[in-house]
Structure 1
Amino acid sequence: MNFIALDFETANSSKDSVCSIGMVEYEKGEVKREYYRLVKPKRNYFAPINVSIHGIRQEDVQDANEFEHLWENEIKHMVEGKLIIAHNAQFDMSVLRAVLTQYDLPYPMLAYNCTLNISKKTWSLPKYNLKAVSDHLGIHLNHHQALDDARAAARIFMHAAKDLNATTAKQLVEKTQTTNGMMYEGGYEPARRNSKKRAKKPSAYDYIAANADRSHPFYGSSFVLTGKLRGLKRDEAITQITSKGGRVQNYVEASTNYLVIGDKTYTDYLNGLLTEKLERAETLLAQGHSIELVPEEAFLTQIKEGS
């Protein structure tokens, strides 16, 4: 059983704002090595909500290397040609793509899979976020510490292999009917879990207020809201969007520009628990569509500042 478990923590809602990375490499079913680094984001801004989740602050990374240095000197040779696993791999691999793009670095050649998907195919649980699956399996977890999260994902992968009598990573992928994602220079393919998809006809608030501010960034953009907003009522949020020339859709589709995420739902998202709208957004992002995931805090700031 050969693979590398990976976890990123980010400084803010931007996927390229890596502030820590943890990896655990398994070889023949045993831990070969562990890797943990704090990372100084290129745009060194730490959002309060992210700090409250992982506890890493700007001063903690003051003397840390930026990702480009770590990638070229330490990480790249570890992951190239390997199978990478992560819990909610769509998030972690989108972080990797974003930070590589930020530094104009080519994608490595690697395969990856998702222990969130594998968990759903292996156990019947009320929730499948990292904490819930770890609790079910008796895995000690210091959540949102990147190395500990990587350790937990690795142990989930090994537990699933044991329960399904899979002796290799390839067998586990086959038994769980999942499909490895791929990264390669110039592109990528998302990891998949075979499941039935429900089709919904999207509808929207298609009007634009007559006095809408045509200079506002919201003008002409389509929005979807997910999760309960704490800063204002949903109807108020819709009014704010439409008064600035935006449209509000009920469901995420290819034409969606922004998915606004309530505070608690955003925290759950970072924990690997996705709403149906977030799952749809991640799927469309993996297909190359441009949808920005906007935490409530950032949304409220944009409303007030108009930027």
Structure 2
Amino acid sequence: MNFVALDFETANSSRGSVCSIGLVEYENDEVKHEYYRLVKPKKNYFSSRNVSIHGITKDDVADAYEFDILWKNEIQPMVEGKFLVAHNAQFDMGVLRAVLDEYLLPYPLLAYNCTLNISKKTWELPRYNLKSVSDHIGFRFNHHHALEDAQAAAHILLKACEELKVDDTKDLVEKTQTTNGMMYDQQYEPARLNKKKKAKKPYSLSYAAATKETDPSHTFYGASFVFTGKLSSMNREKAIQTVDNFGGHTYSTVESNTNYLVVGNKTYEQYLQGKKNSKLDRTETLLSQGHSIEILPENEFLKYL
């Protein structure tokens, strides 16, 4: 599992007043890199309330760099194009946006989720703040130290995967019915917790292949598909069954490991005219991050069949 856990501490009530940052990068379920820095806020004012929470003072950051220097030289390469997690991500991603706006810096391209939301879908607990969930999973840490808070969020994510018996973040998001947030081109989509259960849709897991003699050499064998727009040649159920017959798998959302986004004829015509729905927009974002996803018009899909 590959992801980066993030945490910020701020000097005052302004979300742009970053005074420390912690990052923990995981690669293949192992810690690859840990990062911690004190940061001098642009408006270097520390409120007594914030100091009482994290203990960082104006004197502590006197010799620290401001965020824009750290961002360009150190932080951006660690988060650009990555999958991030934070506990109560609404706060931390709000801080990131605010401090980037303060320095007129462009937003990075990244996806993220919230371990608080994931916790709510994984365990029945009286409270879901970082300390309560960490206590539940047996992780001990120094709360309100940015690096240790990031470590705690990372452990919560890994423990949730273990609890729900999933091997990657895509399966975790689907099983918890959470929605990833995104940052890109000065745009922002919040991570969400889908409180109501979604009606079951016809995905490949609900279907059995019509024949067990699938062809491993076929392009669709083992590939992951997402459909968008109304198909004119067949209904959605038949399309999903067809993919399944070739040994492929169909999912509801576009993710970094999606192979094909199949687009109905009318929706594809609108796309060529510059009109994008959410799945096409997300695909373009992931493509810009270097992921390999083929946008497949319906007629091209039929040629493969």
TM-score category of the 2 structures, normalised to the smaller one:
0.5 to 0.7
Q: Residues 34-78 of structure 1: CA distance to partner in whole angstroms, max 9, x if unpaired?
A: 000000000000000000000000000000000000000001111
Question: Given residue 109 of structure 2, which amino acid in structure 1 is its aligned partner?
Answer: M
Aligned partner of 1:185 in structure 2 is: 185
Aligned equivalents of 2:23, 2:140: Cα separation in 1: 17
Aligned equivalents of 2:62, 2:96: Cα separation in 1: 21
Q: Helix, strand or coil for the counterpart of 2:60?
A: helix
Aligned equivalents of 1:88, 1:115: Cα separation in 2: 7
Aligned equivalents of 1:77, 1:174: Cα separation in 2: 28
Displacement of 1:105 in angstroms is: 0.1
Displacement of 1:162 in angstroms is: 0.5
Q: Residues 133-164 of structure 1: CA distance to partner in whole angstroms, max 9, x if unpaired?
A: 00111101200000000000000000000011
Displacement of 1:176 in angstroms is: 0.6
Q: Helix, strand or coil for the counterpart of 2:161?
A: helix
Structure 2: gaps of 5 or more residues: 197-305
Aligned partner of 2:80 in structure 1 is: 80
Q: Helix, strand or coil for the counterpart of 1:58?
A: coil
Q: Residues 240-263 of structure 1: CA distance to partner in whole angstroms, max 9, x if unpaired?
A: xxxxxxxxxxxxxxxxxxxxxxxx
Identity of aligned residues (%): 71
Aligned partner of 1:211 in structure 2 is: none
Aligned equivalents of 1:55, 1:167: Cα separation in 2: 38
Aligned equivalents of 1:170, 1:10: Cα separation in 2: 31
Aligned equivalents of 2:114, 2:83: Cα separation in 1: 11
Aligned partner of 1:17 in structure 2 is: 17
Displacement of 1:186 in angstroms is: 2.1
Aligned equivalents of 2:47, 2:121: Cα separation in 1: 35
Question: Given residue 151 of structure 1, which amino acid in structure 2 is its aligned partner?
Answer: Q
Aligned equivalents of 1:127, 1:146: Cα separation in 2: 21
Aligned equivalents of 1:84, 1:95: Cα separation in 2: 14
Aligned partner of 1:116 in structure 2 is: 116
Aligned equivalents of 1:137, 1:195: Cα separation in 2: 23
Q: How does 1:63-74 map to 2 (within 5 A)?
A: 63-74=63-74
Aligned equivalents of 1:132, 1:67: Cα separation in 2: 30
Q: Helix, strand or coil for the counterpart of 2:22?
A: strand
Aligned partner of 2:224 in structure 1 is: none
Aligned partner of 2:239 in structure 1 is: none
Q: How does 1:271-286 map to 2 (within 5 A)?
A: none
Aligned partner of 1:175 in structure 2 is: 175
Question: Given residue 168 of structure 1, which amino acid in structure 2 is its aligned partner?
Answer: D
Q: How does 1:117-132 map to 2 (within 5 A)?
A: 117-132=117-132
Aligned partner of 1:2 in structure 2 is: 2
Aligned equivalents of 2:166, 2:35: Cα separation in 1: 26
Question: Given residue 124 of structure 2, which amino acid in structure 1 is its aligned partner?
Answer: S
Aligned equivalents of 1:83, 1:166: Cα separation in 2: 17
- The answer to whether the aligner puts 1:147 opposite 2:147 as a matched pair is yes
Aligned equivalents of 2:172, 2:53: Cα separation in 1: 32
Task: Please report the TM-score for the alignment, with normalisation by the length of structure 1.
Answer: 0.64
Q: Residues 97-121 of structure 1: CA distance to partner in whole angstroms, max 9, x if unpaired?
A: 0000000000000000000000000
Aligned equivalents of 1:90, 1:133: Cα separation in 2: 17
Residue correspondences, number: 197
Q: How does 1:146-225 map to 2 (within 5 A)?
A: 146-196=146-196
Structure 1: gaps of 5 or more residues: 197-307
Q: Residues 191-217 of structure 1: CA distance to partner in whole angstroms, max 9, x if unpaired?
A: 011015xxxxxxxxxxxxxxxxxxxxx
Aligned partner of 2:255 in structure 1 is: none
Q: Helix, strand or coil for the counterpart of 2:77?
A: helix
Question: Given residue 162 of structure 1, which amino acid in structure 2 is its aligned partner?
Answer: E
Rg comparison, structure with higher value = 2
Aligned equivalents of 1:100, 1:186: Cα separation in 2: 10
Task: Please report the TM-score for the alignment, with normalisation by the length of structure 2.
Answer: 0.64
Question: Given residue 23 of structure 1, which amino acid in structure 2 is its aligned partner?
Answer: L
Aligned partner of 2:287 in structure 1 is: none
Question: Given residue 154 of structure 1, which amino acid in structure 2 is its aligned partner?
Answer: A
Displacement of 1:185 in angstroms is: 1.1
Q: Helix, strand or coil for the counterpart of 2:25?
A: strand
Q: Helix, strand or coil for the counterpart of 2:100?
A: helix
